[in-house]
Amino acid sequence: MLYFIEQTNIKNLIIDLVKRWNVVAPIEQDGKDVLLEKLPESSEKLEKYLGRISLNSKTANKQTLIPPKEIFFPQSELMFTYSTHSTAKKEFKIESPASTTDTDTAKPVLFFGIKPCDYYALNITGSFFKNGFEDFYYLSKSKNYLALIFGCITPPEPESCFCSSAGTGPVLSKEKGQDFDIQFIEENAGGYFVETGTDRGDEFIKANSRYFKDLSDRKSSVKRLKDIKERAFKNIELSVDFEKALTIMEEGARSGDTSTGLLNSVYGKIADRCIYCGSCLYACPTCTCFNIYDSTESTVVASERTFPLNGERVRVWDACVFSGYTREASGHNPRGESYTRAARRYEHKLKYDPAVYGRSSCTGCGRCLTACPVNIGMSTFIREITENHEK
Ligand code: SF4
Ligand code: SF4
């Protein structure tokens, strides 16, 4: 179904939505960076946010610095606290935090203004956190979330966005078999076309029908939307041969890509330049490495504990490129050499995930390139291997 919403109705729609949803929207910060934030319910506080929402339009089209995974998988998360006053088991107490996120868990999350590539990324992290082991912390927060996608008519980061090569954007189309509930496409400064792709999307429109005009029978609108989408693809400047890269990675896995092979030589070159800061992985919407540690108040000396013992267990983002990530208690590190850690990063996205899930876990968002202080990114890696293959 196809609808239209006037620009002037966007604000009123949001004011209505915050009553029933935890609305998370891209908010421009003082330094002009854009971050996803939960919108407050109180009208006085909400007013301050409404003018800073950065949607995918000609006037405001920035990528969020931190991807949406942080809403369900925060950079630092308290898992539980514990306390004991003696060694007696019955006196050992564990408490879960009242809420594992700053979003109110009673209401589902509604992403307002998420980009198509980030919508794909949420599907990927969602699969990871329920594959084999169900991660309570992620899944309890992501239950029933809905994404109102805003297609990109112009790429937010022209030098690094390559979503059209990865098949995740800049706009989605049901005709191409792309799955989405609701997608907004800016028609002009006055409003947005709104497409629904599922019954859930139609139900959302029905529940908020006073803001939307039904255009489903208007052939001229359908044609206009098609033209806008075609233009969006033409506006993507960066293109890489994604499919060829996946084939090379798969072949590399079969052949073992010996130490003189193309892949290993590229990993070596990356390892020489990479400073292992981890920025690319923290900025990546599909990276999910984490570490867990205990922070205790009392001293623990060998097996003797000083009581009372109070502490908290915390989960924090980690990165597979850090040498400490795989270092074992013995000191041995199976990925001790830096090129093996570089390899892990690219092989995870382009070789293991396609083998396990049937699709790559790189969305082409380009954040890794934007974030990297030495200009290494997934697009540069793909170019390097596809352009030098069979030479
Ligand atoms: S690897 Fe880079 S381009 Fe791909 S999803 Fe992660 S940050 Fe985006
Ligand atoms: S951002 Fe660049 S330098 Fe930092 S770890 Fe990633 S590839 Fe290496």
Q: State how far the Cα of 126 lies from the Cα of 208, in Å rounded to an integer.
A: 27
Q: Residue-wise pLDDT tens for the chain (391 aa)? A: 999 999 999 999 999 999 999 999 999 998 889 999 999 999 889 998 998 888 766 556 789 999 999 999 999 999 998 887 665 555 667 777 655 445 556 799 999 999 999 999 999 999 999 998 999 999 999 999 999 999 999 999 999 999 999 999 999 999 999 999 999 999 986 899 999 999 999 999 999 999 999 998 899 999 999 999 999 999 999 999 999 999 999 988 777 765 458 898 999 999 999 999 999 999 999 999 999 998 887 655 555 666 667 889 999 999 999 999 999 999 999 998 988 999 999 999 999 999 999 999 999 999 999 999 999 999 999 999 999 887 5
Cα(74) to ligand 2 centroid in Å equals 21
**Whole-structure pTM value:** 0.91
For a ligand 1 pocket test, name from 70, 115, 282, 362 the mutation site with the most ligand atoms within 8 angstroms of its C-beta.
362
Which helix H or strand E contains 300, and what residues bound it? Answer: strand 300-301
The most distant pair of C-alpha atoms in the chain lies apart, rounded to whole Å, by 78
Cβ-contact 93, 84 below 8 angstroms: yes
Cis peptide before 308 (omega within 30 of 0): yes
Residue 309's pLDDT is: 75
What is the number of the ligand closest to the CA of 240? Answer: 1
DSSP, residue by residue, 135-188 = -HHHHHHHTT-EEEEE--SS-SSTTT--HHHHTS-SS--GGGT---SEEEEEEE
Structural domain boundaries of the chain? 2-73+102-234, 242-291+318-388
68 lines ligand 2 (CB under 6 A): no
